Amino acid sequence: QVQLVESGGGLVQPGGSLRLSCAASGTIFSINAMGWHRQAPGKERELLATITSGGIMNYADSVKGRFTISRDNAKNTMSLQMNNLKPADTAVYYCTAAIKKYSVSYYTTYWGQGTQVTVSS
């Protein structure tokens, strides 16, 4: 089995920072692209940032310049550093990873369970 677990969410004041982490575990042969999404109440899920196994990063315009995605391929982990947070960033944040397990020839996208981020004074 493969599992993604997020951590690091919480309550922060506007202008503050949080760092989210995502750890992948299980029968993992390799991980391709990883990413962060979020979903606010009443809104569609939004793709925020992605990072390839080679370290190429892409960001949504809504977080560009404020959020930074990174990963540690040796540890199967990924992080999202979030700075200058705004109330509009309040949402449940999810990590995703395209993972190939041992003895299969294809990648499957896995999702974490989500972590709540609330930006409020």
Spatial neighbors of 56 by CB under 8 A, at least 6 apart, are: none
All residues at 6 or more sequence positions from 109 whose CB lies less than 8 Å from its CB, including other chains: 96, 97, 98, 99
**List of residues 6+ apart from 104 with CB closer than 8 A:** 29
Mean pLDDT of the 9-14 span? 98
Helix (H, G, I), strand (E, B) or coil at 69: strand
DSSP 105: S
Q: How confident is the model at residue 15 (pLDDT cuts 50, 70, 90)?
A: very high
Q: What is the mean pLDDT of the chain?
A: 97
Other CB atoms within 10 Å distance of the CB of residue 28:
16
Backbone angles phi, psi at 87, to 5 degrees: -55, -30
CB-count burial class (<10 Å; 0-12, 13-18, 19+) for 18: buried
| pLDDT computed for residue 71 by the predictor | 98
Q: What is the pLDDT of residues 51-108, one digit of tens each?
A: 999 999 999 999 999 999 999 999 999 999 999 999 999 999 999 999 999 888 999 9
